[in-house]
């Protein structure tokens, strides 16, 4: 729609859709989706406050988010070994199941397990913890054979 203004200039009031506008719209949609997820996590956290022990509620959780319907993910980050071990023990007392230790190449461990509360399953990852009693760390050196090829021209015998 064009509109006549002072000096004979025409002002366009139509909204142009271009890459800049599309990018901004995409960012808005992403932010709205994130806000919706954060609100749902807040409601779930309030419900959990009535169920979980004070110790678990006071952990500085790095991540708490919904993954799928009735599936949630909690993660700690950078816990010291003693603090992580204390949390792992508390999780066992709370009824976590399938607790599994995993070794990282950075010579650290992390533990994952699940906890069911009502219809919801919470996967919990604890970053840190001591070496499990039945495990030991051994340094391994692997040597891989390197094979190289060269092309030789039959007619001249040159390497190409």
pLDDT, tens digit (0-9, with 9 covering 90-100), for 31-68: 999 999 899 999 989 988 888 889 988 998 999 999 98
Going by C-alpha positions, the residue among 93, 53, 61, 100 that lies closest to residue 77 is 61
pLDDT at 137: 66
pLDDT at 117: 84
CB-based contacts of 25: which residues, under 8 Å, 6+ apart? none
Name the pairing type of β-strands 63-68 and 109-117: unpaired
Name the pairing type of β-strands 97-103 and 109-117: antiparallel
pLDDT under 50: residue ranges of the chain? none
pLDDT at 15: 63
pLDDT at 29: 96
């Amino acid at each position: 729609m064009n509109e006549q203004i002072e000096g004979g200039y025409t002002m366009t009031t139509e909204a142009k859709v271009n890459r800049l506008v599309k990018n901004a719209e995409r960012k808005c949609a992403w932010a709205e989706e994130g806000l919706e997820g954060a609100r749902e996590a807040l409601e779930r956290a309030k419900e959990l406050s009535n169920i979980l022990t004070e110790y678990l509620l006071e952990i500085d959780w790095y991540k708490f988010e919904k993954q799928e319907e009735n599936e949630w993910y909690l993660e700690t980050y950078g816990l010291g070994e003693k603090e992580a071990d204390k949390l792992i023990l508390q999780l066992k007392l709370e009824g976590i199941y399938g607790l599994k230790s995993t070794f990282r190449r950075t010579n650290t461990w992390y533990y994952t397990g699940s906890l069911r509360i009502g219809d919801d399953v919470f996967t919990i990852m604890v970053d840190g913890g001591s070496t499990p009693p039945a495990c030991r760390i051994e340094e391994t050196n692997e040597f891989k054979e390197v094979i190289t090829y060269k092309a030789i021209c039959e007619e001249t015998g040159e390497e190409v």
